[in-house]
């Protein structure tokens, strides 16, 4: 079992917490944050999920960091460059120590890049980023790492900005349990883990030997408050100082409150639908009389009919209170590699019915649309609204939602041999790289365990033509050419194939007590380091 100095550190921190009760932001540098979602683990390689990644960013560091607009900046690597067409070299910082006082060096990077793709219990693997493109890592010296690929790979630094570095001293048999209890949660980030009681509290203390800019807050208490009204009530009552995911219905009113400060920004997250395009019989999908039918979702006309039947404007107006932007592709305007040809599907119920008839389903069919009820803004309401819209064109749709802790286990994709339990789902995806290669590789590329492709391709969409264009894009060092190829791959996967059905991009809103400010992030993360009283 991994103990090291971290066990003593955890005990000392727990004692500190006991004698220093945490409350609201004050002169002592304490802040309390209410979050709508909590992580599924403190282990940074367990689950490539937004709530996990935002907590990991407090405790661990990455070779390359991202700012609020996902622009790259030096992290544990002070510099990087391509030394030839297929080799990148990263020069590591020499002044970095882990929270237990041990020195960071190239061995920790080599260990992390072995561990991240091989986590035996991972819910969503980081292999796509650690080894996508055929990456091979080589230690040159204690502070130099080289990464080679069979072909030119321009997104090397972007990929590595998604992976948090852990200490090699934790050993090969240390997984999420010992991170969750604090024994192995030793990073080089701006905060140390004090304790995590799932469902109740996550406490952090500032790491004063952090190699980067020191955060303002010495102690951070994070409270998971799943209910949006309860989260807002906690802010108004003074129980917390800062909250994320402000209820859309309250935003207009809160903007007028002189005691509050709001921050808003368009995120990189698209809310979309996955439909089973692999099985001959889709689960939870039948004829109107309940008898078995061939999988209707395998027909692109049915997928397009579903897209046409969804009134995105109505969802944004009525469900999202105007705080969202309708989507026709993977990323909103302003992001690299976006297509200028794909527009949001216009609502056309008559056209949807016509397509259903052409596909051989003039009377429609029955299905169930599954989704989480505590992961995305108004997720359960969106599922219910879409179910009603589809029912109006003859696709009798039952909405079924559940907590994300249950949902993502049941909706996990393990490839064609073990596809997700559900055949029709609502999900969201935020591009960790800030450009389309991330969702293209994860959501639409043909499932390939060795490459890490299709890890979140819950519909098991597969098109060799799109795969080929994507591979060409990933090997292009010419930015203009790569942007066009990424746009073309999107046009095939989303436009021609309707491999997924984009609904809208989230606009995120944070609220704080007067005097606190926050710069909205496109990656949606809520970071204590970004909250300022100055």
What pLDDT was estimated at residue 451?
A: 86
> Does residue 229 share a domain with residue 83?
yes
**Is there a single domain that holds both residue 443 and residue 521?**
no
How many Cβ atoms are within 10 Å of 45's Cβ, its own excluded?
Answer: 27
Q: Is residue 419 part of a domain?
A: yes
For 272-358, where are the alpha helices, taking DSSP H only?
300-309, 312-314, 349-358
DSSP state of 451: T
- 499 with 520, same domain: the answer is no
Which CATH number covers residue 169? 3.40.190.10
Q: What are phi and psi of 169, to 5 degrees?
A: -75, -10
Q: Which two tokens stand for residue 8?
A: 């003593």
Record the tokens describing residue 52, joined without a space.
Answer: 């996990």
**pLDDT at position 1:** 32
- Across the range 197-207, mean pLDDT stands at 97
Eight-class DSSP state of 317: I
Q: Which two tokens stand for residue 206?
A: 């500032």
What is the C-alpha to C-alpha distance for residues 518 and 375, in angstroms, rounded to an integer? 22
pLDDT, average across residues 468-481:
94
pLDDT, tens only, 92-108:
999 999 999 999 999 99
Q: Where are the beta strands (DSSP E) in 142-246?
A: 144-148, 164-165, 191-197, 201-206, 219-224, 242-243
* Same domain flag for 120 and 101: yes
Residue 248 lies in a domain: no
This prediction's pTM: 0.81
CB 396 within 8 A of CB 233: no
If asked whether residues 271 and 198 sit together in one domain, one would say no
Q: 3-state SS of the chain: helix, strand, coil percent to 5?
A: 30, 25, 45
Asked if residue 259 is part of any domain, the answer here is no
Instruction: Give the H or E element holding residue 269.
Output: strand 260-275
C-alpha dist (Å) from residue 208 to 33, 97, 101, 143: 21, 11, 12, 23
The neighbour count for residue 140, using CB atoms within 10 Å, is 12
User: pLDDT digits over 352-371, tens only?
Assistant: 999 999 999 999 999 999 99
Q: Examine residue 257 and state whether it is found in any structural domain, yes or no.
A: no
In a domain, 1, yes or no: no
DSSP 319: I
Whole-angstrom distance, CA of residue 116 vs CA of residue 300 = 36
- Non-local (6+) Cβ contacts of 174 within 8 A are 2, 184
Q: Which of 330, 326, 308, 338 is nearest to 456 (CA)?
A: 330
Residue 24 is predicted with a pLDDT of: 47
**Residue 530 banded pLDDT, cuts 50, 70, 90:** very high
Print the domain residue range for 170. 6-241+516-532
The verdict on 284 and 408 lying in the same domain is: yes
86 and 55 within one domain: yes
- Res. 167: pLDDT tops 50: yes
CATH classification at residue 432: 3.10.105.10
**Minimum mean pLDDT among 9-13, 336-340, 373-377: which range?**
9-13
Largest Cα span, the chain = 70
Q: What is the mean pLDDT of residues 398-410?
A: 95
Residue 128: per-residue pLDDT? 87
Average pLDDT of the chain, as a whole number: 93
Within-domain flag for 129: yes
Task: Give 82-95 pLDDT, tens digit per residue.
Answer: 999 999 999 999 99
- The two tokens of residue 487 are 């746009």
What is the total count of domains within the chain? 2
Closest C-alpha to 248, from 324, 168, 308: 324
Measured CA to CA, the distance from residue 26 to residue 34 in angstroms comes to 16
More confident residue, 63 or 434: 63
pLDDT tens digits, 384-397:
999 999 999 999 99
pLDDT bin (cut points 50, 70, 90) of residue 21 is very low
User: CA 487, 489, 490, 492 torsion: positive or negative?
Assistant: positive
* pLDDT digits 0-9 by tens, 484-527: 999 999 999 999 999 999 999 999 999 999 999 999 999 999 99
| pLDDT value of position 27 | 53
| Listed range (28-37, 76-85, 117-126, 186-195) with the worst mean pLDDT | 117-126
Domain co-membership, 339 together with 233:
no
Q: How far apart are CA 480 and CA 341, in angstroms?
A: 16
Where helices occur in 359-474 by DSSP H, the ranges are 379-392, 404-410, 437-439, 464-474
60 in a domain, yes or no?
yes
d(CA 441, CA 424): 20
Q: Is 460 found in the same domain as 323?
A: yes
Does residue 8 have a pLDDT over 90? no
- Whether residue 44 lies inside any domain: the answer is yes
Question: Tokens for 496?
Answer: 């021609």
pLDDT band at 452 (very low <50, low <70, confident <90, very high): confident
What are the backbone angles phi and psi of residue 334, rounded to the nearest 5°?
100, -10
Q: What is the mean pLDDT of residues 261-269?
A: 95
Task: Compute the distance between CA of residue 47 and CA of residue 35 in angstroms, rounded to an integer.
Answer: 18
Asked which of 118-127, 146-155, 383-392 is least confident by mean pLDDT, the reply is: 118-127
Q: How many CB atoms lie within 10 A of CB 73?
A: 10
pLDDT at 124: 82
Residue 10: its pLDDT value, please? 34
Taking the C-alpha atoms of residue 265 and residue 467, their distance in angstroms, rounded to an integer, is 32
One domain for residues 404 and 382: yes
pLDDT > 90: what percent of the chain? Answer: 90
Copy the structure tokens of residue 437.
């290669």
Whether 319 and 209 map to the same domain: the answer is no
Residue 200, CB-side half-sphere exposure with 13 Å CA sphere: 3
290 and 236: one domain? Answer: no
In this prediction, residue 125 carries a pLDDT of 85
Residue 11 CB neighbours (<10 A):
11
Give me the phi and psi of 370, to 5 degrees please.
-100, 150
CA 411 to chain centre: 15
Residue that has been written with the tokens 């009552």 in this structure: 237
pLDDT digits (tens, 9 = 90+) for 406-445: 999 999 998 999 999 999 999 999 998 889 999 999 999 9
Q: Which two tokens stand for residue 432?
A: 């960790």
- Three-state DSSP class for 122? coil
Is the pLDDT at 310 greater than 90? The verdict is: yes
pLDDT the model gives residue 25: 61
pLDDT of 66 > 70? The answer is: yes
């Amino acid at each position: 079992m991994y103990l090291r100095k971290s066990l003593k550190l955890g005990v000392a921190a727990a004692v500190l917490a006991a004698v220093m009760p945490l409350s609201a932001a004050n002169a002592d540098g304490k802040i309390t944050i209410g979050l709508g979602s909590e992580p599924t683990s403190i282990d940074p390689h367990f689950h490539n999920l937004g709530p996990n990644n935002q907590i990991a960013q407090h405790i661990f560091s990455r070779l390359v960091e991202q700012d609020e607009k996902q622009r790259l900046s030096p992290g544990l690597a002070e510099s990087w460059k391509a030394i030839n067409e297929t080799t990148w070299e990263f020069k590591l910082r020499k002044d970095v120590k882990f929270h237990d006082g041990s020195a960071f060096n190239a061995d920790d990077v080599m260990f992390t890049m072995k561990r991240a793709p091989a986590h035996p219990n991972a819910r969503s693997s980081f292999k796509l980023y650690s080894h996508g493109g055929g990456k091979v890592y080589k230690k040159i010296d204690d502070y130099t790492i080289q990464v080679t690929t069979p072909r030119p790979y321009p997104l090397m630094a972007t990929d590595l900005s998604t992976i948090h570095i852990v200490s090699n001293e934790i050993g090969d048999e240390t997984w999420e349990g010992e991170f969750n209890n604090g024994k192995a949660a030793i990073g080089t980030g701006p905060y140390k883990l004090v304790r995590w009681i799932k469902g109740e509290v996550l406490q952090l203390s500032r790491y004063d030997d952090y190699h980067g800019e020191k955060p303002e807050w010495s102690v951070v208490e994070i409270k998971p408050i799943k209910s949006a009204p309860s989260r807002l009530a906690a802010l108004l009552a003074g129980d917390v100082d800062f909250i994320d995911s402000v209820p859309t219905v309250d935003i207009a009113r809160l903007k007028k409150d002189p005691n509050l400060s709001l921050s808003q920004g368009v995120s990189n997250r698209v809310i979309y639908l996955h439909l089973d395009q692999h099985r001959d019989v889709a689960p939870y999908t039948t004829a109107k009389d309940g008898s078995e039918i061939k999988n209707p979702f395998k027909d692109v006309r049915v997928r397009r009919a579903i897209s046409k039947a969804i009134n995105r404007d109505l969802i944004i107006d009525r469900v999202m209170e105007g705080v969202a932007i309708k989507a026709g592709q993977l990323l909103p305007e302003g992001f690299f590699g976006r297509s200028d040809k794909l527009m949001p599907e216009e609502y056309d119920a008559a056209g949807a019915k016509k397509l259903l008839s052409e596909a051989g389903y003039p009377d429609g069919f029955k299905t169930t649309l599954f989704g989480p009820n505590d992961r995305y803004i108004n997720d359960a309401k969106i599922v219910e609204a879409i179910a009603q819209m589809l029912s109006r064109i003859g696709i009798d749709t039952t909405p079924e939602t559940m907590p994300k802790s249950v949902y993502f286990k049941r909706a996990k994709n393990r490839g064609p041999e073990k596809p997700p339990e559900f055949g029709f789902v609502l999900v969201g995806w935020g591009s960790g790289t800030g450009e389309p290669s991330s969702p293209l590789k994860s959501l639409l590329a043909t499932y390939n365990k060795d490459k890490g492709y299709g890890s979140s391709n819950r519909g098991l969409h597969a098109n060799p033509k799109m795969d080929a264009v994507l591979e060409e894009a990933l090997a292009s060092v010419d930015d203009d050419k790569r942007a066009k190829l990424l746009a073309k791959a999107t046009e095939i996967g989303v436009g021609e194939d309707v491999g997924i059905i984009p609904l809208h991009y989230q606009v995120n809103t944070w609220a704080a007590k007067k005097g606190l400010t926050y710069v909205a992030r496109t990656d949606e993360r809520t970071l204590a380091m970004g909250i300022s009283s100055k």
